[in-house]
Amino acid sequence: MQAAGVLRAGLDLSGERLAIAAASHSGELFHRDLVRRLLSEHGLDAGQLQCPPDLPLDPVEQETYLASGAVRDRIAMNCSGKHTAMLAAAALLGLVVVVVSGSGSPAAETYPQGCGRKFGERVAAVGTDGCGAPLMAITLTGLLARTARSSWRTPVRRSGGSRTRCGRIPSTSPAPVAPTRS
């Protein structure tokens, strides 16, 4: 869903870039390097990521990472690719990305209102998931209604559209969505 959203926003991603935008990663060096490249390509830096600092999930990589003297870092966090894609889409749209705390700011109100319109109801509460992304509390009825509208009334996009590209990720670029060691 997140990858489809950034594609619809106009972010041009494919292959490994799309894969890391669509799923969590294990924090191996090639994952971290890809996130750094994506940030750089879009004029962003790691300081703008809003996911929490973390260690690589891959145990072997974590040992190597810590032995090198590295500390918890936002790029090592398993959701840094998704956060990078969201930041890049925001930059593409000319949006200013800020850390919002508290419900009184206009920026804090804009996102829930937009989500409420999409789901046809008022967002009851706003929370934050484990990686720092906002979560909107909506009813199951609202979720099902939105899913029905998206699935049944939206024409299938031409080949290469956001849904087609997102559906092909596991078979075309598996490395960014899975650890190389088990």
Give the pLDDT of residue 78: 93
Give the pLDDT of residue 143: 77
Beta carbons of 169 and 22 less than 8 angstroms apart: yes
Q: What is the mean pLDDT of residues 18-38?
A: 93
Answer yes or no: is pLDDT of 110 > 70: no
pLDDT band per the 50, 70, 90 thresholds, residue 108: very low
Q: What is the mean pLDDT of residues 129-150?
A: 76
Three-state DSSP at 125 gives: strand
- Distance separating alpha carbons of residues 111 and 105, to the nearest angstrom: 11
Which is more confidently placed, 132 or 31?
31
Q: For 131-144, b where at least 16 C-beta lie within 10 A, e where not — what string?
A: beeeebebeeebee
- Distance separating alpha carbons of residues 116 and 120, to the nearest angstrom: 6
Beta carbons of 29 and 53 less than 8 angstroms apart: no
Give the pLDDT of residue 159: 46
Give the pLDDT of residue 103: 41
- Distance separating alpha carbons of residues 120 and 35, to the nearest angstrom: 35
Which is more confidently placed, 170 or 19?
19
Q: What is the mean pLDDT of residues 163-177?
A: 52
DSSP state of 139: -
Mean pLDDT for the chain overall: 76
- Distance separating alpha carbons of residues 166 and 146, to the nearest angstrom: 19
